[in-house]
Amino acid sequence: MITIKSRAEVEYMRKAGKIVSDTFKELKAAIKPGVTTKQLDEIAYKFITSQGATPSFKGYGGFPASICVSINDQVIHGIPDDTRLCEGDIVSIDIGACYHGYHGDSAKTFPVGKISEEAQKLIDVTKQSFYEGIAFAKRGNRVSDISAAIQSYVEAHGYSVVRDYTGHGIGAKLHEEPSVLNYGTPGRGVRLVSGMTIAVEPMVNAGDYGVFVDADNDWTVYTDDGSLSAHYEHTILIRDGECEILTK
């Protein structure tokens, strides 16, 4: 069921979104060669809880950590552990925070030290594809208008969008209706109305869009061909005109 948020609910989501945004600020300074993904998770947990919120992901469906940390060919759902980041890696971090029962959800991909021009281009295209998509995130448009714009921009740059995982509605639940695909034909699907809150999250592979799930942990998603992958996500509020980014 799609939920339309009240002003009070949106305020809680703005607060959750700010906590997510501020958590990224805490982590950015720590992302450097030698740091472990578990150390990043510890930083995030400590900060989120210090703000009177709880990590949305911890325990969700059995996920064991507060944030997802995915390196290089890992697309999403990387589990923090003793793995150390290395010079030249790219690392995607997905953060959720729940404040007074309402969630904010955002993801970004960061360089670790000096990275290749190609890796930087992938990060930049992934980020911009989000903004290309949300240009259509306004009352009266269809969800697939967002999806088609993301796909068009990504593929014009020679990359592919992951099709097995999507964006989603968000609010009192971390994942609500509708699904927000990163590909498709415009003019289809749910019509957007003011008060809807959705998480738009392009996941972009440098190679083919095929992915697989790690058989050992049933969580971490990898690119089939070993190519790099980047991730960018924000929680947004649909309005009559330009949408509002709640996690920025």
DSSP bridge partners of 68: 94
Round the average pLDDT of the chain to a whole number and report it.
Answer: 98
Average pLDDT (129-147) is 98
Residue type, 166: T
- pTM for this prediction: 0.97
The strand ranges marked E within 16-127 are 54-55, 67-71, 74-76, 90-99, 102-111
Q: Is the pLDDT of residue 122 over 90?
A: yes
Q: Which two tokens stand for residue 39?
A: 């150390």
Tokens 């759902």 correspond to 77
DSSP bridge partners of 197: 237
Q: Is the pLDDT of residue 1 over 90?
A: no
The strand ranges marked E within 28-118 are 54-55, 67-71, 74-76, 90-99, 102-111
Provide the 10 A C-beta neighbour count for residue 229.
29
Q: Is the pLDDT of residue 124 over 90?
A: yes
**70-100 residue pLDDT tens:** 999 999 999 999 999 999 999 999 999 999 9
Distance CA 27, CA 25 (A): 5
Compute, in degrees rounded to 10, the torsion defined by CA atoms 174, 190, 158, 247. Answer: -40
Q: Is the pLDDT of residue 195 over 90?
A: yes
CA nearest 137: which of 96, 88, 193, 85?
193
Segments making up each domain of the chain, as ranges: 7-245
CA nearest 140: which of 187, 198, 201?
187
φ and ψ of 103, to 5 deg: -105, 150
Instruction: Specify the DSSP class assigned to residue 78.
Output: P
> Tell me, what's the pLDDT at 95?
98
**141-188 residue pLDDT tens:** 999 999 999 999 999 999 999 999 999 999 999 999 999 999 999 999
> Is the CATH number of domain 7-245 3.50.50.60?
no
